[in-house]
Each structure stands twice: as structure tokens, then as C-alpha cells.
């Protein structure tokens, strides 16, 4: 899957493909940290520190 | 390597990243939020006549406590001032005050927001349980903070010892508490938030401050509770406790002896 993506989907010579994959990786991690994980944690009870009924 | 293996590895990495986010990334954001909140609170703090005098005269003669309205009196006769400013600071962006616990670190200072939802406590401070009382009345002033994530404001809460001071500074003055009790309860044991903690139907006589956080570390199973009892009130311009004197902004609101300022 990743080999196919690296060899067939990404354009250009090897060095360009390495740079492109690093940029894509950084973008994915940023998206996870900023948007996906905050959304996920709202729907999980892990961050709950309070005392409450129920 | 097959596509299935790659998916498993990807899921594993995602899980690790989530842990990194929870324990580290949330802390960075919350910490910068905390710094901004402290700055915001102190920049809106009332100017003291004593500060003006001392800049003009070049000397600090001594404490110059401002008059304050007394809301109630402790059994030993100590007068507790009203928290008019604090009670008005309940908006989503408002900082009610700052709480200091010298035992938790020299620079430990937690902004207090009104409410214990993520919007309040994920921002690097503590939140006030809105159903509990205020520092200017007998009863329970209960605060919640994170143990492990979002800057872990109360990460070190278990270091508090019986007798340790906890201070709550607002634009009304400083409420001084002393830690009296530590215990661990289950998350649904709301009686720790009662006006007289763990008792029901009893009329409170004194103010109590309660810290609640997760327990044990990295878990959500129980809650760690510390109760502190109010022992003093210092009006604006009064003499700041020695263990707070090194905090820059304390000297803007209270009198700090020259050599400690």
C-alpha cells in the first residue's frame, strides 16, 4: 500500500518523492493533532476529572 | 509485507500518536492559554493607591489595606470580605481569580474559570463547580483540574500536605486556606462537593476550598480530593504572605516587603 503510493502515485525523482512524503506525513499528523484527536477526546471519557452524578 | 500488516501498523502508530497528543500536545496549548489568562487577569486588576504613592515617594512604608465589605465572620472573629468582582466574572472568557499553592511549585498559579466543562478546564487552569459556593460565604468553593493532560494543573495535587496554605486571589482580595483533609472517592460521590463536605443537610459555618482531580495517575477510575479550610482574608493593599512574595504580580495588588519584592 505505502510502497505502491511511494512508487506509483508520487511524481518525480526519488528525492522529490521523499520530500513529498515527508510533507504529506507532517500534514496528516498536524490534521490529527489539531482536528481529529480533539474531536475524538470529546467523545471519550478519558479527560473527565470532575465529580458528578451518573 | 501485505496490505493487512500495513493497516495494523498504521493503527498502532495512530494509537501512539493519540497518546502523544493527549499527554503532550494538549499541555502545550493549555500552558500558553494559562500564561495568557494570568496576564489578562493581572492587567485588569484594580490599581492600588498604595502603588501610586510608593512610585512617587520612592519608598514603601508598609501595608495599606483597603476598606472592604464584610460578608461573614469566622468563629475566631476573622472578617471575610465580599467577592463582588469574582461573582461577576462568570462569562466564558472571564478569569474569576488565580489560585496559588506554594507546595505545588514556586511558579504554580492556576487561573480559575466558572465551570468544569472542557471549555474551562482544558485551558490550563482550574474550574469552579458552578453549583458550589463562593469564597465569601460559608460553604464549599470546589475546583476541578486535570491530573495528566492539558497542562496537568493538578498533576501534583497529591504532594499537598495537611496544613499547607492555598491562596485564592481575586480583584476582591486574597482568601487564605489551609489544607485539612485528603481522600480518594469514586467519581459519583458528589457529597465531597456539599457545603459541608461529606455531610448532608448541615448548615456550613466556615468556607472550604476543595480541589478535585483524577486518581490514580493516568487513570480515570477515582477522584483525589483535598479539602482546605479558610483561615484568613487579606484585603487589597494588605501584606502578602511571604511564600507568594516572589510572584511578580502579587506586588501590584498587595504589599510586599522591599527585600522580598
pLDDT > 90 in chain B, percent: 65
Which element (helix H / strand E) includes B252?
helix B250-253
Which chain B residue shows the shortest CA-CA distance from A5? B3
The four Cα atoms B37, A52, B199, B82 give a dihedral, to 10 degrees, of: 30
Mean pLDDT, all residues of chain B: 89
User: Distance (Å, rounded) from C-alpha B214 to C-alpha B237?
Assistant: 36
What is the distance between the alpha carbons of residues B187 and B166, in angstroms, rounded to a whole number? 24
Q: Mutation test of the interface with chain B: which of A50, A52, A53, A54, choosing the one with the most B Cβ atoms within 10 A? A: A50
Residue A53 clears pLDDT 70, i.e. is over it: no
Cross-chain Cβ contact B188/A54 below 8 Å: yes
Cross-chain CB nearest to A46 (options B127, B187, B220): B220
Inter-chain CB pairs, A–B, below 8 Å:
70
What would the mean pLDDT of B195-215 be, rounded to a whole number?
A: 92
The whole-angstrom distance between A22's CA and the closest CA on chain B is 16
How crowded is residue B112: how many other Cβ atoms within 10 Å of its Cβ?
26
What is the phi/psi pair of residue B225, to 5°? -120, 130
Q: Could you tell me how many residues make up chain A?
A: 54
Question: Cβ B146–A46 below 8 Å, yes or no?
Answer: no
Q: What does the pLDDT look like over B96-124, one tens digit per residue? A: 999 999 999 999 999 999 999 888 888 88
Other beta carbons less than 10 A from residue B159's beta carbon: 11
At residue B59, the pLDDT reads 46
Give B-chain residues touching A1 at CB under 8 angstroms: 3, 6-7
Whether B212 sits inside 8 A of A50 (CB atoms) is yes
Q: Where are the domains of chain A?
A: 2-40
pLDDT digits (tens, 9 = 90+) for A1-52: 888 888 888 888 999 999 999 999 999 999 999 899 988 887 766 656 677 6
Contact criterion met (CB < 8 Å) for A46 and B6? no
CB contact under 8 A, A51 and B192: yes
Q: Which residues on chain A are in Cβ contact (under 8 Å) with B212?
A: 49-51
Categorize the per-residue pLDDT at B185 as very low, low, confident or very high, splitting at 50, 70 and 90.
very high
Q: Is A14 helix (H, G, I), strand (E, B) or coil?
A: helix
Mean pLDDT of B86-98: 92
* B145/A51 Cβ within 8 A: no
> Which residue on chain B is closest to A51 by alpha carbon?
B187
**Going along chain B, which residue ranges are E strands?**
70-73, 79-81, 97-100, 109-114, 126-128, 139-144, 165-170, 173-185, 207-215, 222-234
Q: Which carries the bigger pLDDT value, residue B228 or residue B44?
A: B228
* Contact across the interface for A41 and B22, Cβ inside 8 Å: yes
Interchain proximity B214–A49, CB inside 8 Å: yes
A18 touches chain B (CB under 8 A): no
Which residues fall within 8 angstroms of residue B112, CB to CB, at 6 or more apart? Answer: B95, B96, B97, B98, B99, B125, B126, B127, B128, B143, B168
In sequence order, the 6+-apart residues with CB closer than 8 A to the CB of B226 are: B157, B160, B179, B181, B182, B210, B211
User: Taking a C-beta distance cutoff of 8 angstroms, is the pair B135, B46 a contact?
Assistant: no
Walk me through the domains of chain B, giving residue ranges and CATH numbers.
3-43+68-234 (2.40.260.10)
**Tens of pLDDT, residues B15-67:** 999 989 988 888 998 999 999 999 999 988 877 665 444 444 444 567 888 88
Residue B3: which of A1, A50, A54 has the nearest Cβ? A1
Amino acid at each position: 500500500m505505502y510502497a505502491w503510493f511511494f512508487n506509483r502515485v508520487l511524481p518525480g525523482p526519488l528525492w522529490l518523492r521523499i520530500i513529498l512524503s515527508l510533507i504529506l506525513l507532517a500534514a496528516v499528523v498536524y490534521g490529527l493533532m489539531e482536528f481529529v484527536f480533539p474531536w475524538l477526546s470529546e467523545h471519550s471519557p478519558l479527560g473527565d476529572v470532575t465529580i458528578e452524578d451518573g | 509485507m501485505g496490505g493487512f500488516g500495513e493497516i495494523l501498523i498504521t493503527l498502532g502508530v495512530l494509537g501512539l500518536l493519540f497518546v502523544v497528543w493527549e499527554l503532550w500536545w494538549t499541555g502545550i496549548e493549555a500552558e500558553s492559554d494559562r500564561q495568557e489568562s494570568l496576564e489578562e487577569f493581572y492587567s485588569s486588576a484594580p490599581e492600588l493607591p498604595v502603588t501610586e504613592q510608593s512610585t512617587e515617594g520612592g519608598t514603601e512604608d508598609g501595608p495599606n489595606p483597603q476598606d472592604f465589605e464584610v460578608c461573614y465572620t469566622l468563629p475566631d472573629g476573622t472578617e471575610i470580605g465580599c467577592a463582588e468582582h469574582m461573582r461577576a466574572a462568570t462569562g466564558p472568557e472571564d478569569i474569576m481569580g488565580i489560585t496559588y499553592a506554594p507546595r505545588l511549585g514556586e511558579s504554580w498559579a492556576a487561573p480559575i474559570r466558572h465551570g468544569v466543562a472542557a471549555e474551562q478546564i482544558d485551558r490550563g487552569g482550574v474550574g469552579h463547580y458552578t453549583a458550589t459556593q463562593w469564597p465569601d460565604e460559608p460553604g464549599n468553593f470546589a475546583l476541578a483540574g486535570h491530573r495528566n493532560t492539558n497542562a496537568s494543573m493538578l498533576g501534583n495535587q497529591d504532594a499537598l500536605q495537611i496544613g499547607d496554605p492555598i491562596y485564592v486571589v481575586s480583584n476582591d482580595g486574597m482568601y487564605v486556606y489551609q489544607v485539612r483533609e485528603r481522600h480518594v472517592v469514586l467519581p459519583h460521590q458528589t457529597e465531597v462537593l456539599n457545603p459541608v463536605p461529606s455531610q448532608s443537610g448541615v448548615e456550613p459555618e466556615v468556607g472550604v476550598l476543595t480541589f478535585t482531580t483524577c486518581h490514580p495517575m493516568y487513570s480515570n477510575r477515582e477522584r483525589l480530593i483535598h479539602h482546605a479550610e479558610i483561615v484568613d482574608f487579606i484585603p487589597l493593599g494588605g501584606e502578602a504572605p511571604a511564600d507568594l512574595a516572589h510572584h511578580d504580580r502579587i506586588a501590584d495588588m498587595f504589599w510586599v516587603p522591599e527585600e522580598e519584592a
